[in-house]
Structure 1
Amino acid sequence: MTTTMSFLALSCVGAFATAPAFAEDPATATRDTVPAAGAADPQERRDVVVTGQRVHNTDDPKQVAPMVNTPKSIVVLDKSVIEQTGSNSLQDALRTVPGITFGAAEGGNPIGDRPFIRGFDSQGSIYVDGVRDLASQNREVFATDSVQIVRGSDSTLGGRGSAGGTINIISKLPQAQDFGNVTGSFGNAAYKRVTADLNLKATDTVAVRIEGLWHDQDVVGRDYIYQRRWGVAPSVTLGLGTPTRLTFAFYHLTSHELPDSGLPYRYVCSATLCNAPTTGNVLSQPALGTFTTLNGQTGTVARTTFYGLTDRDFRNTNTNQATVRVEHDFGGVTLRNTARYNRDSQNYIYLLPDDSNGDVYGIPTIAPGTVNRVDGGVEQVGGGYVWRRANTRYSYDVSLIDQTDLAGTFTTGSIKHSFAVGTEFSFEKDRRGAYVLATGATISPRCDTFTVSRYYCTSLFNPNPNDFYVNYTSDTSNVPTPIVKGSLASETQNDADTESVYGFDSITLLPWAILNLGARYDRFKSTITPAVATGTAAQPAGTAAYKLSRTDRLFNYQVGLVLKPTRETSVYASYATAATPPNSLLGEGREDNALPTSPTTVAGNLDQLKVQKTKTYEVGAKGSLFHEQLALAAAVFQTDIQNARVTIDANTVAFLGRTRIRGVELTASGTILPGWTVFGGYTHLDPVVTDGGNSALTAPAVGARAAQVVYVTSVNTGKQVPSTVKNSFTATTNVTLYKRFQIGGSVIYNDRQYGGYADNRTATQNAAGVVTVNPATVVLYREVPGYVRFDARASYDVAPHITLSVNAQNLTDKAYFTQAYASHYATIAAGRTVFGTVKVGF
């Protein structure tokens, strides 16, 4: 395996970045070496020559300027970095990029990809080859050539969402040469992985490529957890190297796993129950290590502790993606059409350890020995228990998307234009329901001797995942029943139709001054068909299904000015917008601005709902060193959401919430010295919820006076944005020694991360109905500590086409948390994972 990594290729859009040029074995090069007819001026779109091989950048139609001339912060994660780090999923790969964190969830996407870019949830802004890929899933990398991260408000590029940025996965597609490779990996915790990549040049203009995957592993440091999946990705291209090209591609991935719910937080705090042991600002970290409960019981929560049920919990997913792409070159203009059909399904019973009832630390407001009147059990109020809260879902997501792009160059006098215009039409449908099972959710408080005997609750310190769970017709029934799916009437469906038109233009006003413009208009119509029943119940007689629909018209734009002190350097300033309409995720993730499910709900008046809007101001500099071998970039930015959805009283939602993210980003990628490559950077964020809206407090009834609801400033106001970190640093490096031997590794640092906040403010009223708000004595911060993770790698080329390598991930066996949910739990990382790999090329 050749080892020199070139400079991060200077090519991108005012849109998606293109892959960097890395030196490769000619047998495994992944870019067509035949330039398309009518290619742009080579001074503007030049190839990068690395170790004598010419590597073409990309022919993305939205590419209107090289990366150095694009006024955006862009990171390109190439397949060589993915391979060197041993990443086997998109989440693994993105952890090497500074400034990206991951959020946990409990509903539509509990353990799927939920990346945060610059402090904003980007799970709805993930694309495959420039086409939106909305469905909840854990994405693989066996068929991935590179991953492109464009940071900042970016609805001009992708449409709805994109407040913090977009992630574009570039697929491996047929090339005009014969090559192939097979890799096999084996490691601790029964780690087994086999991948294959075969490209055949059938004729001078026809090539076929197929990638395959089989993966099976347990998880180090997490007892009982397993992950199994397989996938295949065939594709064929007709007309390689000719003006007309046609590509057919298919991608399939099937996964089976026991989902990992992590560990519960220690304390809970609300107006009705606050069991924090001290007053003031209290950190509630996950219950890892030695912990003493309210009743004085001291125990240890090991990192291996799992609160799920092995004979009940599961998560199965299927991803199917079919793509047809046709393109034709007309002199200096290329016309491309991409049509894609997606069908994704997800089924799970996902158990998360719940802290919301105070069972972990204890419940000081209930006397010991109290009998629960619902089930007759004795309340376990001293702490040391966890409610096994089960979230369930079965769902499928279908989309049909068609994009047409026209891209090329022209001049108007002395002014040069590199442009792209296009349209997009899409249809998306998501339908979901829930499994019907008894979990103790109707029993309050949750943990007593009865619920423990039913395994609804378990020990904080010594849970048994092999508990013999039996499902009953209700939480207190003695009649066993199978776990079944809910009725059709209990399912919810979301539909969306989108029509879009967009354009980009990189205008070279002078050799040292470039104006970058972009604009996009979207018509987004979203319709929800709510459930009209629960559980297994049929649709009630005389009750008709109904739909709630809304149409939003979105206009977004970007403008940037690039100044070039030298050919290979630039400084820039830019402004860009993004828009997130109601129901943007169609139920495929956490939706802060969802459509109502009933005409009588608080948000029942659809006219109350508004589009959340984001804007980003950014200045930066880019350049390359050592004859285009090392790319450096720096950016300073501010991103604002000005009208986030909040509640202001019992009947009104308003759009006055505000969030502000300020930050600095530094990145480096390329070759420092021959044989020594580096990829990574540093990000500092100042993420603040400047206005979180209001929260409801209930003043209990007094005498004949009914209870009253009052609204107070949200506890989130002024706090750090959840699921973000202030400081993050990553560095991945690889060094070649003695031509055949390589060593390398990664350092990943993330600052502390908050999942959410809570306090114990209360409201009371007197006989005259005057309400008093009692200030908080405790403000709870649900936090996961910062961490430093070290990875290491060594490889040896035993023959021209055979490489042996060893990866050690989390080398120091650090116990740390990767995701923090707003309440309940945090996700713990795997322990030290070591695996060896044999790669055979041909």
Structure 2
Amino acid sequence: MRRPGTVSRSAAVPAFLALSCVGAFVTAPAMAKDGVDAASADEAASEANAGQRREDDILVTDRRDLPNASPKDVAPQIDTPRSVVILPRDVIDQTGSASLADALRTVPGITFGAAEGGNPIGDRPFIRGFDSQGSTYVDGVRDFSAQTREVFAVESIQIVRGSDSSLGGRGSAGGSINILSKLPRATDFVNAAISYGTADYKRATVDLNHKISDTIAFRVEGMWHDQDVAGRDAIWQRRWGVAPSVTIGLGTPTRLTASYYYMESHELPDSGIPYLYTIGNAPLGNNYSEPAIGTVTTIAGKTGVVDRSTFYGLKNRDFRDAKTNQATLRFEHDFGSVTIRNTSRYTHNDQAYIYTQPDDQQGNVFGTDTVAPIGDVPATAGGLVWRRANTRYGYAESIVNQTDLYGDFDTGGIKHSFAVGAEFSWEKSRRGTFVTRGYVNAAGNELLSTGSTIAPARCTPEAISRFYCTSLFNPNPNDNFVNYSSDSSTVAAPIVRNLAIAETQNDASTQSVYAFDSITLAEPLILNLGARYDRFTSKVRPGQPITATSVFELERTDKIFNYQVGLVFKPTKNSSLYASHATSATPPNSLLGEGQEGNGLGTTNNAAALALLDSLKIERTKSYEVGAKVDLFDQKLNLSLAVFQTDTKNARVTGPNNTVEFIGKRRIRGIEFGINGTILPGWTAFGGYSYLDPTITDGGFTALTAPAITQTVGGVTTTLQPAKTVQVTSVNTGRQAPQTARHSATLWTNLDVGKFSFGGGAFYTSRVFGGYSDNRAATQTAAGVVTVSPVTKFIARTIPGYVRFDARIAYKFTDKVQLAVNVQNLTDKTYFNQAYTAHYASIAPGRSAFATLSFGF
């Protein structure tokens, strides 16, 4: 139905029927516990499960006895026909991880992107070469907003690799992340930890569980964190959080759990290091444009040193504030071997920031032609950085209700472990930008005001005097930046939010049904099937200029069917061989502005925009995988191997007629190996190796414009040929997919020797590419013959590979008191952990050390 002022378009995707494999969000195997908190959690889990096991056992069964296991776990991990990585709590603790990003760096095959191109600041992991920012779940419920997540209230993290829209819904082309929360246990314990270290690192956590009665328990986790960033000037991070929960009916057939999560964070965001070259100033030939770190020589021959600590931001302008509020209510009832569960959740996230994006490809870093200007860009000798302000404020909120019915039954000797369910969700995001100097467009990008004295290169004497531009080699974060009403004004103005009419709002609703079944056909054969249907409706109300008098909305509905199917052969009880096929679907406007949207609904309502709205397609992904798993040493050690291929089609690109078409394709092939568990009593290991061959097989086309040909005679200018547009194959076609490492390997191991524990980690990531450019150009003759010049310059914006080492030593004074010392980036390696598409790269912290005293009772 079209409301007044609403432009509505609807597209339905033909549904086809098939079933599939599942069992993805599987519960973490518990490695040998190393620390007071983990030990108590193990004890609590044992009591909750009404079973005893040795401290160094791995738990691979009884998934549904754990209070936060997913109903969709229709098979234990060994019988799940897909690659699933379980990151247990003790590895998070041992590695000293304080955020989700810290924890995920221990998992091979995951790289990180960051805020750029309209993408807000927040966790942006890439799994198997695909952006998974919108595919993060908390206890099986989508957590769609852009945010930087903590781990103080996390029990374990599950990384599902491969297409899995049948599990969680839209997106998840390369996989998804499911965060399992700490919830009440049937025992009493208090665990706390206090940390202090270099770079003024301070952190305190507490985890209290109290059994109020035989059937009621209360648990609360708290966190306070305060630090600078090792090896980086000026940057700091502050946050605190609390997560209370209560369960009524523990150990009974009927249970009710209410939980709440709150986190508040404040920081000076890091702007990283700009890339050295743009396509305009790069040398002839093929070039890697890496971050301008170390000794740098500009186009004019000026040489200087960019230290790893160099920070181009402004302390009196840049900031980032964020808050997360999340309330969950879960009801469960057992009918013998069948359980019904209903989960309702409300989430509200706020985020506001201004951060410096260094130089924005303006050519000031390396410099431009010192003899003559290039176009309208004045000559510069290089060695300068424009302090572009990226700004955003807004909120995202959602209401989700999931109902699941799951359990076990037999049909004629065939065993079934099933789950069926339905999900209803409502999501909303609204965002605007801060008005800094000059003007800012709806995407938060600075635009120059009419008649500005600051030229497009941004680094004129006027800009430098106002600290809009700074030295590449010696920037001062304490510069007295003043926000003026315009670029040419001398009148100071406050930094304010734009008007409400300029804010963009996205709304979405989803109705889903799904079903999964793990069928034991015969003793060695298991068939896993599953399917999901989603009806996803989204609409956008684009921000309008402040002079506008009305707004409009664009709306679209997509009907999505996804499936998975897998077959498991079990040579022995504790080993399996499998083959699987899975699909995923990413509809237009899937991220609701809370990520980098490759297929948005548009921002105008003219005829061309409405035609595009009707023609939008769902991006489709298919994964094929074969693998093997084995549990060794009485199920204490898990080894896994997977070989896979993932194909994507319908990516939105420019077509050969300079129109939007859905012909983009990507192919990811790879091999993954994983290890998790206890090798020998007291010796644990976690990690693996990932090889990816990520290729953009069809990147579409790029439009080149041949300038008009004019002739001036007697002061009169005549156009001989109008400007013409021609298409050339995209520079991306055939190249390695961005944000994806071809090789990555991680290993964290811990050895207990008496009261001492010794841990160490090695983390390797090969070269990662952010984006590509070349200098092809189109010209024409007076006769209108268009010629495309061949490529003479090509740049790949990239960060080099690296190896990072961490170490840890711990001593247990008693079973309840332990002191541990972690050293991260042991060799003080200078490396980059995020390759942005075009402008700059994020630099990782230097060496840091901190001691943690943990105790419990």
Question: What amino acid sits opposite 1:737 in the alignment?
Answer: V
Once the 2 structures are TM-superposed, how far is the Cα of residue 23 of structure 1 from its aligned partner? 3.9
In structure 2, distance between residues paired with 1:53 and 1:819: 34
- Give the secondary-structure state (helix, strand or coil) at the position aligned to 2:235: strand
- Tell me if structure 1 keeps the 8 A contact 2:58–2:677: no
Q: How does 1:253-652 map to 2 (within 5 A)?
A: 253-269=263-279, 274-277=280-283, 279-364=284-369, 367=372, 379=378, 381-438=380-437, 441-442=447-448, 443-533=455-545, 537=546, 540=548, 543-600=549-606, 603-605=609-611, 606-648=613-655, 652=659
Other-structure match for 1:725? 741
In structure 2, distance between residues paired with 1:132 and 1:47: 33
In structure 1, distance between residues paired with 2:119 and 2:44: 34
Once the 2 structures are TM-superposed, how far is the Cα of residue 371 of structure 1 from its aligned partner? 13
Q: How does 1:81-230 map to 2 (within 5 A)?
A: 81-106=91-116, 109-230=119-240
Q: How does 1:37-52 map to 2 (within 5 A)?
A: 49-50=54-55
In structure 2, distance between residues paired with 1:600 and 1:814: 53
In structure 2, distance between residues paired with 1:695 and 1:53: 53
Other-structure match for 2:769? 754
Structure-2 change in CA distance of 1:409 and 1:667 (3 Å): same
In structure 1, distance between residues paired with 2:815 and 2:637: 27
Q: Structure 2, unaligned stretches of length 5 or more? A: 1-20, 439-445, 449-454, 711-718
Deviates more, 1:107-116 or 1:220-229: 107-116
Once the 2 structures are TM-superposed, how far is the Cα of residue 709 of structure 1 from its aligned partner? 1.7
In the alignment, structure 1 residue 797 sits paired with structure 2 residue 804:
no
Other-structure match for 1:238? 248
- Tell me if structure 2 keeps the 8 A contact 1:28–1:180: no
- Tell me if structure 2 keeps the 8 A contact 1:603–1:653: no
- Give the secondary-structure state (helix, strand or coil) at the position aligned to 1:222: coil
- Tell me if structure 2 keeps the 8 A contact 1:321–1:343: yes
- Give the secondary-structure state (helix, strand or coil) at the position aligned to 1:224: coil
Once the 2 structures are TM-superposed, how far is the Cα of residue 453 of structure 1 from its aligned partner? 1.0
Query: TM-score by structure 2 length?
Result: 0.92
Render the CA deviation track for 1:179-219: whole Å, top value 9, x for unaligned: 11110000011000000000000000000000000000000
2:704 counterpart (690, 697, 703) = 697
Render the CA deviation track for 1:544-573: whole Å, top value 9, x for unaligned: 211000000000000000001011000000
Structure-2 change in CA distance of 1:385 and 1:136 (3 Å): same
- Give the secondary-structure state (helix, strand or coil) at the position aligned to 1:82: helix
In the alignment, structure 1 residue 688 sits paired with structure 2 residue 695:
yes
Once the 2 structures are TM-superposed, how far is the Cα of residue 648 of structure 1 from its aligned partner? 1.4
In structure 2, distance between residues paired with 1:475 and 1:253: 38
- Give the secondary-structure state (helix, strand or coil) at the position aligned to 2:732: coil
In structure 2, distance between residues paired with 1:48 and 1:163: 38
Other-structure match for 2:732? 716
Structure-2 change in CA distance of 1:702 and 1:153 (3 Å): same
Other-structure match for 1:27? 40
Once the 2 structures are TM-superposed, how far is the Cα of residue 111 of structure 1 from its aligned partner? 3.7
- Give the secondary-structure state (helix, strand or coil) at the position aligned to 1:266: coil
Once the 2 structures are TM-superposed, how far is the Cα of residue 263 of structure 1 from its aligned partner? 0.1
- Give the secondary-structure state (helix, strand or coil) at the position aligned to 1:470: coil
- Give the secondary-structure state (helix, strand or coil) at the position aligned to 1:799: coil
In structure 2, distance between residues paired with 1:601 and 1:189: 56
2:789 counterpart (774, 780, 791) = 774
In the alignment, structure 1 residue 815 sits paired with structure 2 residue 812:
no
Render the CA deviation track for 1:105-138: whole Å, top value 9, x for unaligned: 2255444100000000000000000000011111
Query: TM-score by structure 1 length?
Result: 0.93
- Tell me if structure 1 keeps the 8 A contact 2:273–2:842: yes
Once the 2 structures are TM-superposed, how far is the Cα of residue 474 of structure 1 from its aligned partner? 1.1
Other-structure match for 2:18? none
Question: What amino acid sits opposite 1:728 in the alignment?
Answer: S
In structure 1, distance between residues paired with 2:48 and 2:650: 47
Other-structure match for 1:735? 751
Structure-2 change in CA distance of 1:101 and 1:568 (3 Å): same
In the alignment, structure 1 residue 62 sits paired with structure 2 residue 72:
yes
Question: What amino acid sits opposite 2:645 in the alignment?
Answer: Q
- Give the secondary-structure state (helix, strand or coil) at the position aligned to 1:63: coil
- Tell me if structure 1 keeps the 8 A contact 2:806–2:825: yes
In structure 2, distance between residues paired with 1:598 and 1:134: 25
Structure-2 change in CA distance of 1:636 and 1:466 (3 Å): same
Structure-2 change in CA distance of 1:575 and 1:80 (3 Å): same
Question: What amino acid sits opposite 2:814 in the alignment?
Answer: A
In structure 1, distance between residues paired with 2:375 and 2:286: 33
Q: Tell me the matched-pair count.
A: 805
Other-structure match for 2:802? 787
- Tell me if structure 2 keeps the 8 A contact 1:31–1:56: no
Once the 2 structures are TM-superposed, how far is the Cα of residue 769 of structure 1 from its aligned partner? 1.6
Other-structure match for 2:759? 744
In structure 2, distance between residues paired with 1:49 and 1:734: 18
In structure 1, distance between residues paired with 2:642 and 2:145: 31
Other-structure match for 2:9? none
In structure 1, distance between residues paired with 2:384 and 2:853: 46
In structure 2, distance between residues paired with 1:553 and 1:30: 46
Deviates more, 1:58-67 or 1:116-125: 58-67
Render the CA deviation track for 1:150-184: whole Å, top value 9, x for unaligned: 10000000000000001000000000000111100
Once the 2 structures are TM-superposed, how far is the Cα of residue 696 of structure 1 from its aligned partner? 1.3
Deviates more, 1:696-705 or 1:67-76: 696-705
- Give the secondary-structure state (helix, strand or coil) at the position aligned to 1:246: strand
The share of aligned pairs that are identical, in percent, is: 61
Structure-2 change in CA distance of 1:372 and 1:557 (3 Å): closer
Q: CA RMSD in A?
A: 1.9
- Tell me if structure 1 keeps the 8 A contact 2:658–2:727: no
In structure 1, distance between residues paired with 2:662 and 2:644: 24
Question: What amino acid sits opposite 1:761 in the alignment?
Answer: R
Other-structure match for 2:83? 73
Once the 2 structures are TM-superposed, how far is the Cα of residue 60 of structure 1 from its aligned partner? 2.4
Question: What amino acid sits opposite 2:346 in the alignment?
Answer: Y
Once the 2 structures are TM-superposed, how far is the Cα of residue 380 of structure 1 from its aligned partner? 5.6
In structure 2, distance between residues paired with 1:448 and 1:786: 36
Q: Structure 1, unaligned stretches of length 5 or more? A: 1-11, 38-45, 374-378
Other-structure match for 1:16? 25
In structure 1, distance between residues paired with 2:119 and 2:152: 22
Structure-2 change in CA distance of 1:357 and 1:23 (3 Å): closer
In structure 1, distance between residues paired with 2:607 and 2:133: 27
In structure 2, distance between residues paired with 1:441 and 1:713: 30
In structure 2, distance between residues paired with 1:765 and 1:371: 18
In structure 2, distance between residues paired with 1:228 and 1:56: 39
